[in-house]
Structures are given as C-alpha cells and as structure tokens.
Amino acid sequence: MRQYVLPSSYDGESTLTLEKKDSQYFIKVLRLKVGDKIVAISNEGKTYQLTLIDFDRSSCTLSSIPLKSTEEGESTDSLPSFSGQYPNIHLFQCTCKGKKNDGIIRMATEMGVRSITLVQSKYCISKKDKKDNSRYETIIKEAKQQSGSPIPTTFNEVIKIEDLPKIWKESLIFFHQSKVESQKDLKTLLKDFPIDKPIGILIGSEGGLSDAECDMLMRADFNPVLLKTNILRAETASICAISAVHTLLTER
Amino acid sequence: MRQYVLPSSYDGESTLTLEKKDSQYFIKVLRLKVGDKIVAISNEGKTYQLTLIDFDRSSCTLSSIPLKSTEEGESTDSLPSFSGQYPNIHLFQCTCKGKKNDGIIRMATEMGVRSITLVQSKYCISKKDKKDNSRYETIIKEAKQQSGSPIPTTFNEVIKIEDLPKIWKESLIFFHQSKVESQKDLKTLLKDFPIDKPIGILIGSEGGLSDAECDMLMRADFNPVLLKTNILRAETASICAISAVHTLLTER
C-alpha cells in the first residue's frame, strides 16, 4: 500500500493544506477525489489517515487523524500493485560515484530487491564515504513508500569483494561483459530456480570487474553471465539485470 | 564497437593528451595499455584511429591518424559486447520532466531500442519544449558510442497519444499497473513472437495513463500488461519494461 511521506513542517494538525508538487501528487498522480483516503507517515514514523476534503488547480486540503499503525488505515489507491510472489533477489553493487549509487539503490528498492550491499572492487573509481549510509537509508525508505513495495529492503555495510564468498553462501550471478569461458545462459541458470530461494546479483562498477576478481568469484562457485545486450553503464546494468532475473523468475 | 567522442577542442592534431575524466576513461574503464587502439569520432563526425602511447596516474597521451570510416579502424576493447540478434523494440514514452526524459532516452539507447518517440498524454505534467529535441539527439549519439550499440536508435517527434493507432500499425504493449481486465501475461504475449518483428512498448508518464486512454489503446488492439512488481516511477518502469521484453525475446 502506498504511503505518503508528510512534509517535515507537519506537526499533527487535524487538517493540512498542500501546494504545488505535493498537491499535484495527490490530484494528478494518485488522482484522488474528495472523500478518498490515503495513509501518511511523518518523519518521526507516526502514521495518519488522510482524507481529501477539497482541491483546486494549485492546492489541496486534507483532514488528518492519527493511526495506531499503518495497517489500521485505508487507502483509495488508483494504482494497485502486483500482489503475487516476489523473487528473493539480493543486490551486490560495486560502488559507483555518489549520485549513481543513489539512483541504483532507489530503482532496486522500487523493484523489490531484498537487500542492497555496496562492494569495493579493484576498478571502483570512488571511495565510499561513511556519511552516505544515512542518505542511502533515506532513499530506501522513500522508495519503499512511493512504490508501495511489500518487501522490507535492507541496506548493508560496504564489503570488500574478496569477502563476498565468506559473506554470501547462496547462489550468485555476476554480470560481466567479457569472454569468460563457462558463461551460462541466464535462462538455463534460472530454469528450475525456486522463486523464493535467495539469489545474489553482483554488478561491477563503472570500470567492471578485473580478471582476478572474476577468477576468484568463479572459484567460489558464483556464475558469470553475459547480458545479451550492449556494454551498459553500471546503473543501467544494475536495473537491467534485476529486471531480467525478476522477469525470468516471475514470468513462467 | 566502442567509439570515443573527442573533446571539441581537438582539431586533427597527430597526438593528443587527455587529463582527468577522459584519461581515467581510457586507463581505468577501458583499461587500455600502451599500444592499444581505439576508434574516435570528432564533433564534426570525422573518425580517427587513436593509439595509446603513454600514460600516468593523471593523464594519457595518444597518437591520432585520420580514418576514412569507422570500419577501417581497430579497437582493443576489453569489454566486448553481445554479438547476437537484438529484438526490434520501439519505445513510446509519455513525456516526463526534462531530466527524467534524458535518463530514459539514454538507458533505452544503451539497451539497443530501435526508436524512441515521446508521447503527450493526459497526465503528462511537463510541457514539451522544442529546444529539447537537439539535446535528446546528442544523448542518443553519446549513448550509442559509449555502449558500442550496433542499433541505429532514432528519435522521433513528439506525438499525441490519440494519434498512436494511426502512426504505429505493429504490435504494442502498454504497461499499466491497474486492474484492466483482459490483461495478458507478458510471457504469453511474447511466446512465439519473432525476435526481429517490431514491437512497441508504451510507458505512461509520472501520472500513468487515464482510463479513457487505456480504452482507446485497447480498441486499437494494443495489449495491456501488468508488470509483476511494485508501482514504479516512469523512468524505472521504462527500463524495467524494455529489459523484461528484451529478456523474454533473447533468453529462449
């Protein structure tokens, strides 16, 4: 269920008036009509039942009643989401430059990835800044709310690529646009793969993976796969690979 | 084959020295070694054979010889791309806000989409600015070069959604996260679909498609499909849908 994130200025008032972008979101995106309801969440994590009571071209007014929990609320959502089973995808993303990481994390969360772990590898251009972690957590929170994702996507601390075999004991696919022998077809790899079994996806940074890293990953029984497309930038590769695995596991 | 886009300051000199981002691209991303070659293209469309003759941590120097055509050139590319058959995907994207269109067009070009047409629909928030067209052309050109895409992606003038049935006489799938009856499975729709047959993909804007638009599209025998995932933002939906169709047509 979609949850609206209240402006930080909101402090529990019984009505609130929204303008511009926020108003447009209710009227043009969610297309609520007078009397329609939506669940909202404040910055402090308090939940409210909002009901649209009036709107015009540039603003809208909603009544607000505190809720004990999100589940208690009602939502008139014109855009219902998929209610079937989600694959159990875990993204291991070699660290890209700041804004690219943001975009990748946002898209992966929207797609219902279970966990996101940033990985330091040889060709990572950027150094990870500790301060980024709280921004990533915020992005994940916003993306979960906006997409109505039922998956509680988590964000893990940065790891070194050589520690991946110790940390991840499940299946893992790494996408590598190179002539690694023994590359399998994505379809063959996922043919009888149970939808709820954890599967890791490792995506290189802007500079890809080194030959030594590929060897190390294969020794750990991880599977190299060539995406059947062009050389993609890291952020395109990431969402494209998640979508490819998601599609093959859900479209059966 | 990947082609390097020369800086606008380059004017046919027999050697050129690159610094910072450009140098890093050759050394860290393409990982060229001394003696390795790459084909380059100038802003005016002239092609050159570049050979790496020296580099250090912050800069690199290349020799440059004019070529009659790209085909004449040699490229030592450590990241070969997929050389199989590409699906014949045509993207119809309801216009989003400027930067979102940029990102969608870039990703779709990387993925080897044949044509990109922006579409005006009821819930488009942004108005299309004529000046944007040349920027979109530039993005497509850059993305083709960077991804080494063999597909000559084209950009078409903006159309109105109601004109789509007149303009596009091939199959078309529109993704709509709503309870439209008669929605088919993506896999069922593409089961026996020839990989080289044109297929259109229509993606709504931030506000989705209106009920009247969906009715109109279905009367034109276009196929509504629910992506089996959360409510995606327009840009995520676009790349995710392209990847899903691409995957089902290439992974058989």
What is the secondary structure of chain A as a DSSP string? --EEEPPTT--S-SEEEEEHHHHHIIIIIS---TT-EEEEE-TTS-EEEEEEEEE-SSEEEEEEEEESSGGG-----SS----SPPPEEEEEEE---HHHHHHHHHHHHHTT-SEEEEEE-TT--SPP-TTHHHHHHHHHHHHHHHHT--S--EEEEEEEGGGHHHH--SEEEEE--S--TTPPPHHHHHTT--TTSEEEEEE-BTTB--HHHHHHHHHTT-EEE--SSS---HHHHHHHHHHHHHHHHH--
Chain A residues within an 8 Å CB radius of B230: 81-82, 110-112, 147-150
Give pLDDT tens digits for A148-174.
Answer: 787 889 999 899 999 999 999 999 999
Q: Are B82 and B56 in contact (CB under 8 A)?
A: no
Q: Are B122 and B213 in contact (CB under 8 A)?
A: yes
Q: CA A192 → CA A186, A252, B61, distances in Å? A: 12, 10, 51
Query: All domains of chain A, ordered by start, with CATH?
Result: 3-72 (2.40.240.20), 88-250 (3.40.1280.10)
Cβ-based burial of A113 (10 A; exposed 0-12, middle 13-18, buried ≥19): buried
Mutate to test the interface with A, among B97, B100, B232 (most CBs of A within 10 A): B232
CA B81 from centre of chain: 15
Average predicted confidence (pLDDT) for chain A = 87
- The pTM for the full model equals 0.80
Question: Are the beta carbons of B243 and A247 separated by less than 8 Å?
Answer: yes
pLDDT confidence band for B21 (50 / 70 / 90): confident
pLDDT at B95: 92
Residue B103 has pLDDT above 60, yes or no: yes
Closest CB to A240: pick one of B111, B123, B186.
Answer: B111
Search chain B and give the residue with CA nearest A105.
Answer: B236
Average predicted confidence (pLDDT) for chain B = 87
Q: Are strands A37-41 and A47-55 parallel, antiparallel or unpaired?
A: antiparallel
Mean pLDDT, rounded, for B131-160: 86
Partners of residue A51 on adjacent β-strands: A37, A63
A77 or B56: whose pLDDT is higher?
A: B56
Mean pLDDT, rounded, for A3-24: 86
B52 or A77: whose pLDDT is higher?
A: B52
Q: CA B24 → CA A78, A225, B17, B38, distances in Å? A: 47, 26, 12, 15
Residue A113 has pLDDT above 80, yes or no: yes
Separation CA A34–CA A27 (nearest Å): 10
Closest CB to A29: pick one of B78, B150, B206.
Answer: B206
Q: Are B45 and B1 in contact (CB under 8 A)?
A: no
Chain A residues within an 8 Å CB radius of B86: 229
Nearest-neighbour CA in chain B from A33: distance (Å): 14
Residue written as tokens 């940074």? A205
Q: Tell me phi and psi for residue A34, to 5 degrees.
A: -55, 130
Chain A residues within an 8 Å CB radius of B99: none
- The widest CA-to-CA distance across chain B, in whole angstroms, is 64
Nearest-neighbour CA in chain A from B99: distance (Å): 13
Chain B residues within an 8 Å CB radius of A244: 243-244, 246-247, 251
pLDDT at A81: 61
Residue A178 has pLDDT above 70, yes or no: no
Question: Are the beta carbons of A236 and B111 separated by less than 8 Å?
Answer: yes
Q: CA B144 → CA A54, A181, A207, A234, B152, distances in Å? A: 48, 27, 18, 15, 8
Residue B98 has pLDDT above 60, yes or no: yes
> Closest Cα partner for A227 from A206, A242, A209, A249?
A242
Question: Are the beta carbons of B230 and A123 separated by less than 8 Å?
Answer: no
Q: Are B164 and B217 in contact (CB under 8 A)?
A: yes
Residues constituting chain B: 252
Nearest-neighbour CA in chain B from A188: distance (Å): 9
Nearest-neighbour CA in chain A from B176: distance (Å): 9
Residue B209 has pLDDT above 70, yes or no: yes
pLDDT at A24: 81
pLDDT confidence band for B30 (50 / 70 / 90): confident
Give B238's contacts (C-beta < 8 A, 6+ positions apart).
B91, B93, B104, B107, B108, B203
Residue written as tokens 């910072």? B20
pLDDT at B79: 54
Nearest-neighbour CA in chain B from A247: distance (Å): 6
Residue B80 has pLDDT above 60, yes or no: no
Question: Are the beta carbons of B230 and A148 separated by less than 8 Å?
Answer: yes
Closest CB to A228: pick one of B82, B146, B229.
Answer: B82
Search chain A and give the residue with CA nearest B247.
Answer: A244
Mean pLDDT, rounded, for A110-126: 90
Question: Are the beta carbons of A236 and B110 separated by less than 8 Å?
Answer: yes
Percent of chain B with pLDDT over 90: 51
A138: left (phi over 0), alpha (psi -120 to 50) or beta: alpha
Search chain A and give the residue with CA nearest B84.
Answer: A228
Give B130's contacts (C-beta < 8 A, 6+ positions apart).
none
β-sheet with B88-94: strand ranges across: B154-160, B115-120, B88-94, B198-203, B171-175, B223-225
pLDDT at B180: 58
Separation CA A97–CA A104 (nearest Å): 11
Residue B78 has pLDDT above 60, yes or no: no
B167: left (phi over 0), alpha (psi -120 to 50) or beta: alpha
Closest CB to A244: pick one of B110, B112, B243.
Answer: B243
Question: Are the beta carbons of A232 and B111 separated by less than 8 Å?
Answer: yes
Search chain A and give the residue with CA nearest B30.
Answer: A207
* Neighbouring C-beta atoms of residue A233, cutoff 10 Å: 18
State the DSSP H helix or E strand holding residue B156, giving kind and residue range, or none if neither. strand B154-160
Question: Are the beta carbons of A177 and B80 separated by less than 8 Å?
Answer: yes
Q: DSSP 3-state assignment of B2?
A: coil
pLDDT at A177: 61
CA contacts within 13 A on the Cβ side of A47 = 15
Tokens of B1: 């084959």
Separation CA A104–CA A155 (nearest Å): 12
pLDDT confidence band for A197 (50 / 70 / 90): very high
Tokens of B3: 């082609």
Question: Are the beta carbons of A248 and B252 separated by less than 8 Å?
Answer: no
pLDDT at A127: 67
- What interface predicted TM-score (ipTM) does this complex get? 0.79
Chain A residues within an 8 Å CB radius of B208: 29, 78-79
Chain A residues within an 8 Å CB radius of B252: 187
CA contacts within 13 A on the Cβ side of B75 = 24
Residue A128 has pLDDT above 70, yes or no: no
Separation CA B226–CA B6 (nearest Å): 43
Closest CB to B147: pick one of A208, A232, A239.
Answer: A232
Chain A residues within an 8 Å CB radius of B231: 2, 79, 81, 146-148
Q: CA A142 → CA A29, A161, A233, distances in Å? A: 16, 28, 24
* Neighbouring C-beta atoms of residue A185, cutoff 10 Å: 14
Percent of chain A with pLDDT over 90: 51
Chain B residues within an 8 Å CB radius of A111: 229-230, 232, 236, 240
Tokens of A87: 């694959």
Residue A79 has pLDDT above 60, yes or no: no
Cβ-based burial of B245 (10 A; exposed 0-12, middle 13-18, buried ≥19): buried
Question: Are the beta carbons of B79 and A28 separated by less than 8 Å?
Answer: no
B8 or B212: whose pLDDT is higher?
A: B212
